[in-house]
Structure 1
Amino acid sequence: MPIKYAVPPYRYAAPLKRSLTDSGIEVLTALPPDAHALISNGIITAGLVPIFMLIDGKLQPAPGPMVYSEAETMSVLVVSRNPVPLRECGSIAASPESRSAVAYLGIVMDRAGIKSRIITGFSANAGLLLSVYRCALVLGDEALKARTSFHVVADVGELVRDVLGINPVYAATGARDASIDLSHIRPIPIDEDAAETSRITGISLDEAKRYHESIKLGYDEAKLSTALRTLAELLNESPK
């Protein structure tokens, strides 16, 4: 049976789309939360879903592509119009598609005793969110664009590494069929990926190269299991 796999519409996914296509896998575009619904309803075989949404057991975390970094992520950011420490943000408006980033940020702030409140924003655009709120949590290409116009309050990946001591894993392959194995997919960025990312987002070519090098897309069983276990334990400890 042909495999249909959902990939996010973000620039970091360009090497993944290429690798999947080269392996004969049909690629569809969907935000990770939407991919979860498509897989659950049997419309597609597998796809990148928020790691936070793999904890409840409705989908199986399958060997296959992931989205993680060693620490700095560059495209999961809290931003503001003016320099402000995270603890003084007050309300942080999160991009509506945020799932894992919201969970990580909430846990980190709780651990650090930061009282800023995370709310679901009305847009993925940093400028629109910051027209109403002091700080915004933005993802993907919007976060890269925001780096050129706004102040970076925090890189969520760095916070996760510094406070929780784990590599931030944001999304992983989810499937209903536990036998799915796409661990052979090993995306590798090429120069054209960085050039196009720079053109679309406005960050420099050097920054774009660093970005594609920092975002890891291959399967790492140890990092995935550690992140799933840690996130589940910490969410269970957090006040409801």
Structure 2
Amino acid sequence: MKVSDQIVFVTGANRGIGRAFISELLVRNVKKIYAGVRDAQSVDRQLSQDPRIEIVRLDVTDSDEVARAARIATDASVLVNNAGIVAFDSLLDGSLATMRQQFDTNVFGVLEMTRAFAPTLRSQQGAVVNVLSAAAWFSAPNNGAYCASKAAAWSITNALRMELAPAGVLVQGVHFGAVDTDFSSGYNGPKISSDEVARATLDGLEHDEIEVLVDSDARMAKEALPGPPNAFLEQMRS
């Protein structure tokens, strides 16, 4: 897929990895970008003034807003499901409401956006990019709900790929370890930049790759899957 030919819809576009996607897409001279954001007031000047960008108010957990976004972006050829949330808490003692919110955003948000955009993507023989995580392949202490949500999103990504393949739609999953965003503000280990995620993802899209492992953490976590549960974490601790 030639990225410069595409019209791209990015969810969670105003900061972090989503914002990096916008910058990299502009560098690659895409035809147009729909920037999905929950709060239009938080959008920076570049997003609001660049003629190639259209701001779309969007909460991926709101079915009406998802449907509205799909009606607006009927020319989109690539959907980047980037919006996501994380909350660090115990599965035993943490808030169930917060855990459900993570699944609503990280799993059902991805699914509902893809369902809403599927007719357009089929007609364009386009692509879906699901921003996942290396956490889809292990479960970290006090981060179990987030890890479980990303594991579910990975499974859904693989199933969507099978359903959309007959129409010529590429479905790509993107995995990585810690990224230097608000998500990982309390993590003191090595982090990659949001720009690295965006560049690796779009490079993969250019080569029609169904899975992008951005960094060594993602590669190690994937390689550890055939071993005991959480083998990746044990490797990291040793």
TM-score bucket of the superposed structures, by smaller chain: 0.3 to 0.5
Choose between structure 1 and 2: higher helix proportion.
2
Choose between structure 1 and 2: higher strand proportion.
1
* Higher RCO (CA-CA < 8 Å; seq separation 6+): 1
